[in-house]
Amino acid sequence: MRNSSPIPGANLLADTRNYAWHRPPDIVDYDPAVEYIINRIDDPFQSQMVIAMLDIDAQVSTIVSTLLLQAVSTGKMPIDLAIIIAGPVARYVEIIAKDLGKPYEMGVRDKDEIVITPTLLKQALGIVEQEEDTEEVAEEPEVSPQAVMGGLMGMPDEMVATSEEQDEMLGGADAPETDPMVEEEPEDEL
């Protein structure tokens, strides 16, 4: 049987410098990272790409994530820093779009946007559901069944057994004259 899994410890011998994200990133601070992306956007080739993406009605968030993924994949910055600087980069792309007079969409949820829920829709259409009876039926308190007095299964009036009865139950009473274990065998007349 051929074992295709790696040998334990193989990762310690592998050359991890093959990929850019295996090495420490070049930029680790906020402002230099924003500056790097802004400079890249200002690059003639990159700015053409940004403008072309705006022309095809791509959302600003999509453009930003494309630019940031490029920077992460080339090892320029770590992925967490890329997420942090997404806001300033998006704002810069927005300014470019405004400057060029391009219609744009940020691609994020507007804070003033009203989320349409089924309840809101019913209210708008005037569909009012009858309110369910919310009055809770007062539950009757559970009453413990009264002790049945009298009868065969009834509780005896006096709960405490007499001392004689207790002795008898504990085996302290005089042994009965006849041993109950020994039963008299009926005489077989046959």
Q: Which is nearer to another protein, 49 or 106 (CB)?
A: 106
Q: Quick one: tokens of 110?
A: 């507007």
Position 83 contacts another protein (CB under 8 A): yes
Q: Per this entry, what is the length of the chain? A: 190
> For residues 99 and 50, what is the distance between their CA atoms, to the nearest angstrom?
13
SS3 56: coil
Q: Residue ranges of the alpha helices (H) in 43-117?
A: 44-55, 60-73, 79-84, 86-100
Burial class (CB in 10 A: 0-12, 13-18, 19+), 119: exposed
Position 106 contacts another protein (CB under 8 A): yes
Nearest distance in Å: CB 11, another protein: 25
Position 70 contacts another protein (CB under 8 A): no
Q: Residue ranges of the alpha helices (H) in 111-177?
A: 118-125, 163-170
DSSP code of residue 103: -
99, 157, 183, 187: residue in contact with another protein (rule CB under 8 A): 99
Position 111 contacts another protein (CB under 8 A): yes
Q: Which is nearer to another protein, 74 or 123 (CB)?
A: 74
Position 31 contacts another protein (CB under 8 A): yes
Position 35 contacts another protein (CB under 8 A): yes
Q: Which is nearer to another protein, 34 or 53 (CB)?
A: 34
Give the number of residues in contact with another protein, rule: CB under 8 A: 30
Nearest distance in Å: CB 143, another protein: 56
Helix 86-100 / helix 44-55 crossing angle, nearest 10 deg: 80
Residues in contact with another protein by the rule CB under 8 A: 29-31, 34-35, 60-62, 64-65, 68-69, 79, 83-88, 90-92, 95, 98-99, 106-109, 111
